[in-house]
Chain A
């Protein structure tokens, strides 16, 4: 099971919007609505930001939104803030015995 493909880095100025893509196959992202997104600050554990493609857990700002089209999922951060600078990982349920696969990770830099 190969890792999902994410851009290595994305940057934006405060207040701008950025979008991170997560590309898989019909056996994972395209086949299930079980895509989730995680934010990880240096030295910290990942934090769930989006689940089931577009749902936000309680406490996650509505600046974070998720979507999916075909085999590609996306995370959009609107109104970028300094505290959004972190690594972001997508994850998807898969049809293989390796039930879950993560993306390669994207470093978000706030300029």
Chain B
């Protein structure tokens, strides 16, 4: 079945970087965009950016410009999201989600990133 499987939980210190992976299976990885969405505990969803796995083209939310990088390795159907200069406010569950213009489906299981000194 179509699914996205993400890497495990991370604990990072303020100022560090984190790289989360998202492995796709059950469909052609290059056929759909990969989006990244985060959710702080008890809070709503926040869109971070998208990547076209075929071309490698990316687009980032203004809030994360300069701090986020989305890449992929098509040989292993895996997308990556790296967030740098981490601060406590970046503590959240990070989701990858496949999709096309206007929708996100399916979603990965989420990766908890905790930023703490």
Q: Decide if B47 touches A99 in the complex (CB within 8 Å).
A: yes
Complex Cα distance, B108 from A91, in Å, reads: 18
A100 touches B47 (CB 8 A): yes
The answer on a CB contact under 8 Å between B107 and A89 is no
A51 to B105 alpha-carbon distance, docked (Å): 10
Binds A, one of B8-16, B59-67, B75-83: B59-67
B109 & A102 in contact (Cβ 8 Å cutoff): no
Q: Which one of B24-32, B84-92, B95-103 contacts A?
A: B95-103
Which range contains the number of B residues in contact with the other chain? Answer: 20 to 34
Complex Cα distance, B99 from A34, in Å, reads 12
Q: Is A48 an interface residue (CB 8 A)?
A: yes
Does A1 sit within 8 A of B, measured CB to CB?
yes
Binary interface profile of B, 39-72, with partner A (CB < 8 Å = 1, else 0)?
0000011110010000000011111000000000
Q: With contacts defined as CB atoms under 8 Å apart, how many contacts are there between chain A and chain B in the complex?
A: 70
A4 to chain B: closest residue by CB: B44
Give chain B's interface secondary structure class.
strand
Assess A36 versus B104: contact at CB under 8 Å? Given A46-B95, A89-B45, A104-B44: yes
Contacts of A24 in B (CB 8 A): none
Residue of B nearest to A97 (CB): B62
The residues of A that contact B61 with a CB separation of less than 8 Å are 1, 97-99
Q: Is the CB of A93 within 8 A of B102?
A: yes
Which residues of B have CB within 8 Å of A104?
44
* CB-contact partner of B107 in A45, A99, A102, under 8 A: A45
